Amino acid sequence: MKKGVIKLKGIPAAPGITIGKAYLLDSEQISVRKRRIKADDIHKEISRFKDALSKTKEDILKIKEKISKEMGVEHGEIFSAHLLVLEDIMLIEEVILRLKKEKVGIEYVFLDVLKKYVNVFSKMDDEYLKERISDISDVGKRILKNLIGVKTRTLSNLARPVVLVAYDLSPSDTATMHKKNVIGFVTDIGGRTSHTAIMAKSLEIPSVVGLEEVTRNVKNGDTLIVDGIHGMVIVNPDKATVKHYEDLRGKFKKLEKGLATLKNLPSETKDGHRVVLSANIELPDEVPSVIYHGAEGIGLYRTEYFYMNKEGLPSEEEQYQSYKLVAQKMKPHSTIIRTLDIGGDKFLSQLDVPKEMNPYLGWRGIRFCLAQPDLFKIQLRAILRASVYGTLKIMYPMISGLDELRQANAVLEEVRNDLKKKKIPFDEKIEIGAMIEIPSAAMTSDILAEEVDFFSIGTNDLIQYALAVDRVNEKIAYLYEPAHPAVLRLIKTIIKNGHDSGIWVGMCGEMAGDPSLTFLLLGLGLDEFSTSPMLLPEIKKVIRAVTLRDAKEIAKKALTLPTGREVVAFVNAKLKEYVPELAMEE
C-alpha cells in the first residue's frame, strides 16, 4: 500500500463495499463578523431575525412533509422537535435583549447565544439533553444561514453521491439520508449493536462505526473505501487497493444476486428440518424490504421510534394504526411487537427519565413500563386492538425474573378485561413472549417458560450483561464476543429450557444475523432467526447447506472449546467448508 494511505479498522455495521468521496458532516463553518449597528437599526435587525425564524419554520415544515411522504410519518416526526426549538421563547428573548444592549449585528448575537446554549447543555452529561444539543445546533445553523443568506445543504439534497463521515449520526441524519446520495457512512463512535449500526442495516447502506478517529483522518473530498463486510475504511487508496476492492465489490454483488434467487425457497436444512426466518424492523415502512427479502414474519418490531423526537407521547390511535398496517401487510405471517424498551442507548425525548450512573443497568425496558402502567396500557391496548387484522404477538423486553413477568401479564390481563367489557374485539389467543436478554432470566428460563408462549433471545444485551461489556463502547469492542463460551452456555440453557416446557425459542439479537454462527445456533435447536432483512438471504443459504445432524455435531464441538477466539476459528472453518462462497477474504 502507498505511503500516506490511511487504513482504519472499525466495527462493520452494514455489509457491502463502497468507494466514493468523503463528506464531513458539520464541517461547514459559518463565519460571522462582529458588526456595530446604530440604535435606529435595532428594529430592522429584529425584523430580519423574525423573518429568518419564519423562513426556517417554512423550510423545516417542507422537509418534514417531504420526508413523511417519502419515508413515512415516523421519520417526518423527527422534525417536530426542531420546530419546538424555533418556538423557544427564552432563546429568542435572550437574543433580542442582547441585541438591544450590545448593538451588534443580529447574526453575531444569535451565534453567541447559540454557542452558550450548546456549551451549557453539553456539560450536563444527560442523554436527553445531549439529544437536544443536536436539535438546537441543527436548527441554529438553519436560522443562521437564513440570516446571512447561505443555502442549506441537507442529506436529502446533496449534489452528488458521497460517503458521510461523522462523529455519530442523529436520528434526524438517518431520517434524511437516502441511498441515492449517501453511498456509505463511517463514524467515530458506536458498537456493533448501537442504534446507528442497527439503522445502517435497515437502510442497507454499507457502513463502518466505532472507527474512533475517522473524522480526524479524513478531509472533505478525500477518496474513501468503505468495507462494511470487514469493518475497514481506507483513505485515499492507491490504484492497486482500489482494484482489489472493486473486485471484492464485484464478488459481493454477485453473491447478493445469487442469494436473491433463494427468496422463495424454504429455510430448511438438507435433511428437511425447518426453521423460521424473520426480520427485525423499527418502522412500518420497512415492511416492503422485509417481504422483498423473503422473511416469514417479523421477529422484532422495535417500538421506541414512536416516542423519539416528537412533540408529546404517541397516542393509542397512532400506535394502533401502525400496528394494524404492519399486521395487515405481513398477513399471513406473524409480527412480534416488542413493548417499549426505553433506556440504554435508546433514550426518548418526551419521557421524563432522570440521569443515571448506569443506564444499561437502570430504569429501562419492562421496569420503566411497569412503573408507568398508564403508558404501558396505552401500548398494550393499541396492540390488542390491532391484533384482529393479522397475527400479532406481544413480547416484553428486559424481563429479569418471574415477578416482573407476572406483573406485566397482570397489566395485560387488566387491558384485556377492559376491552372485553367494552366489547372491543381482539385476538384472545394472542401469543405472549419474553425476551431473554438478562443472565438471570436465562438461568431461570425453566421457570419463565411456564408462563409464556415463546422466548426470543436478545443477544445484544445478553452478551453485554454476561460479559460486563458495554455494547456501544468501541474501546472494549474486542471483548464483546458473541461466541464466548459463557454466552454459548446461556443460549444452550435457554433453548433447552424452552423446549422442555414445550415453547418455541427464537433469537432477535444481531447474533442471529451472523452467518458464521448459524450452524451453531441451528445445532443448539434455535427455532427462529430474526435479523435485519438484508441479512436474511445469507442466513437462509447457510441453513440450506447443512443437515441438522451435522449442525448438532458442530454445536457440540463448539461448546467444548475454551475461548471465543477458538470457537470463531472453528465455526469460520466450517462455514468455509460448507458454503465457501460466503467466506469473504479480506
Q: Which stretch binds ligand PEP (CB under 6 A): 378-386, 406-414, 453-461, 486-494?
A: 453-461
Residue 527 binds to ligand PEP (criterion: CB under 6 A)? no
If one asks whether residue 299 binds ligand PEP (CB under 6 A), the answer comes out as no
CB of 350 to ligand PEP, least distance (A): 19
Residue 241 burial (CB < 10 Å; 0-12/13-18/19+)? middle
Tell me the per-residue interface mask from 492 to 511 with ligand PEP, x by CB under 6 A, - otherwise.
Answer: ----------------xx--
285 or 437: whose CB is closer to Mg ion? 437
Categorise residue 553: left if φ over 0, alpha if ψ from -120 to 50, beta otherwise. alpha
Q: What is the DSSP letter of 474?
A: G
CB of 508 to ligand PEP, least distance (A): 5
How far apart (Å, rounded) are the C-alpha atoms in residues 566 and 15? Answer: 24
The single residue among 437, 481, 528, 538 that binds ligand PEP, judged by CB under 6 A, is 437
State how far the Cα of 170 lies from the Cα of 135, in Å rounded to an integer: 9
> Residue 221's closest CA among 138, 165, 153?
165
* Interface segment toward Mg ion; rule CB under 5 A; list 18-26, 149-157, 461-469, 526-534: 461-469
Would you count residue 458 as binding ligand PEP (CB under 6 A)? yes
Binding region for Mg ion (CB under 5 A) out of 26-34, 43-51, 227-235, 434-442: 434-442
User: Which positions from 326 to 345 touch ligand PEP by CB under 6 A, shown as an x/- string?
Assistant: ---------------x----
- The CA distance from 387 to 381, in Å, is 10
* Candidate segments 211-219, 375-383, 458-466, 551-559, binder of ligand PEP by CB under 6 A: 458-466
What is the C-alpha separation between 263 and 533, in angstroms, rounded? 11
- Closest distance to ligand PEP from the beta carbon of 509 (Å): 3
The residue whose grid cell reads 422484532 is 300
Listed in sequence order, the DSSP H helices in 345-401 are 365-371, 373-386
Give, to the nearest 10 degrees, the angle between helix 127-148 and helix 42-71. Answer: 120
Residue with smaller CB distance to ligand PEP, 56 or 280: 280
Contact 504, 475 (CB under 8 A): no
State which of residues 59, 188, 404, 461 lies at the interface with ligand PEP (CB under 6 A): 461
Report d(CA 413, CA 397) in Å as an integer. Answer: 18
Closest to ligand PEP by CB, 248 vs 477, is 477
User: Which of 18, 335, 349, 459 touches ligand PEP by CB under 6 A?
Assistant: 459
Single residue of 127, 131, 404, 461 touching Mg ion by CB under 5 A: 461
Please choose, from the candidates 528, 12, 535, 466, the residue with its C-alpha nearest in 3D space to the C-alpha of residue 300.
528
302 binds, among Mg ion, ligand PEP, none (CB under 5 to 8 A by kind): ligand PEP
Least Cα distance to 299 among 530, 125, 3 occurs for 530
The one catalytic residue among 75, 82, 195, 333 = 195
Tell me the C-alpha distance between 63 and 79, whole Å. Answer: 8
Q: Is 178 labeled as catalytic in the residue annotation?
A: no
Strand partners, 586: none
Residues binding ligand PEP: number (CB under 6 A): 11
- Residue 557 one-letter amino acid: K
Q: What single-letter amino acid sits at 238?
A: D
| Active site (catalytic) residues | 195, 508
Residues that bind Mg ion (CB under 5 A): 437, 458, 461
Residues that bind ligand PEP (CB under 6 A): 193, 300, 302, 341, 437, 458-461, 508-509
